[in-house]
Structure 1
């Protein structure tokens, strides 16, 4: 009987921890974006480019995550905080290049095509940042920000801090601001983003390899020993 009681107490204990962590995370995901955005505004920071990671497109309409990221990028562009936008994403889980899909939506929203750049190599969030960084270097840009949702921003903040010589500022979207833009739903023709002879990453790679890819295990670092990119 005592064993059952102790087991029950352990279960309750871990449930309480889970609830606490979940609530803390929710608060963090709401407060952190507002704080980071305020820091950018108060400091008068602007950036040569904003990196926007992709998300699978179903062939019909943009996902809520993509909508949030693209609308936020447009908002920051209109504010003059980012001068160019790098949309990043290969055709990974669906036969559409994620970067091109986002670019089509971006143009439909009014972002000039000459201020949009594309990385169609990245298959994971870490690769989104890496390949966009290479593109930033190629274009001669010197400052950049990661423009994404609060969750992805939190998950990649350690990666961006440790692996790149030039600081990558995080500007995750502020939900309250996005709510005011939620009515915007442009229509695009996705045909130019379609990849022929597409094979899903699920069919190409096993789960373990995909997980390792998420961690950045297959990134072709310039400094292979330190797994780090130099300053722009």
Structure 2
């Protein structure tokens, strides 16, 4: 379903999903903001290639890195729906695009979008990063807006990809060997969790916010 929505965004655009990303990027550029790291949530790796969702997110992280807006990239995602760690697959593509390995970090624990943010934020904190952004598609960014605002002391600045800007990179088609990202003892989340359990995960119900004062993760 998500893949269909993102494909529709590429094909037809949408006024809302065009205006908000442009505005957010413009604010960052005009204010001269840069970030120690950017979080990039994963997507399933199937049929031995990336789909439009993963491609859009990874290429956008490359664009942000190339233009000096972010200094490091945190790719996030476990082996959730296919036997490949989503984070590692994205990192392999990113290196082919030109992001140096020393500026790529991996969270392979997350199984839901809220967990992508939570675990990557913790990784950023452990790495000593002090500022952080989120690079994903406009749809997912909108869905996570309230969550990031409510749960983290350091602002997670949203930089959803600008559809028109991304189109100029459609020609990019790097090839990777996915073997390093393979999870030998894989079991799909659909076999481990029922629909309602997965929905709870999407809503961040498995994240231990109760251990933090007021349920807010401390500043980086």
Band the TM-score falls in, shorter-chain normalisation: over 0.9
Residue 32 of structure 1 is matched in structure 2 by 20
1:228: how far off?
A: 1.9
Residue 191 of structure 2 is matched in structure 1 by 203
Residue 147 of structure 1 is matched in structure 2 by 135
Structure 2 CA distance, aligned partners of 1:221 and 1:82?
27
The farther-off stretch of 95-104 and 51-60 is 51-60
Residue 186 of structure 1 is matched in structure 2 by 174
1:222: how far off?
A: 6.7
Tell me the SS of whatever aligns to 2:74: strand
Q: TM-score, normalised by structure 2?
A: 0.92
Structure 1 CA distance, aligned partners of 2:19 and 2:170?
20
The farther-off stretch of 168-177 and 25-34 is 25-34
Instruction: Please say if 1:43 is aligned against 2:51.
Output: no
Structure 2 CA distance, aligned partners of 1:223 and 1:49?
25
Cα RMSD after superposing both structures: 1.2
Contact 1:59 1:190 in 2 (8 A): no
Tell me the SS of whatever aligns to 1:219: coil
Contact 1:77 1:84 in 2 (8 A): yes
Structure 1 CA distance, aligned partners of 2:151 and 2:42?
20
Instruction: Please say if 1:228 is aligned against 2:184.
Output: no
Give 1 or 2 for the bigger CA radius of gyration: 1
Q: TM-score, normalised by structure 1?
A: 0.87
Residue 95 of structure 1 is matched in structure 2 by 83
Tell me the SS of whatever aligns to 1:96: coil
Structure 2 CA distance, aligned partners of 1:93 and 1:228?
29
Unmatched tracts of structure 2, length 5 or more: 1-12
Structure 2 CA distance, aligned partners of 1:227 and 1:204?
27
Structure 1 CA distance, aligned partners of 2:79 and 2:49?
16
| Aligned pairs (5 A) from 1:65-80 | 65-80=53-68
Structure 2 CA distance, aligned partners of 1:170 and 1:226?
23
Structure 2 CA distance, aligned partners of 1:82 and 1:42?
15
1:153: how far off?
A: 0.3
Number of residue-to-residue matches in the alignment: 208
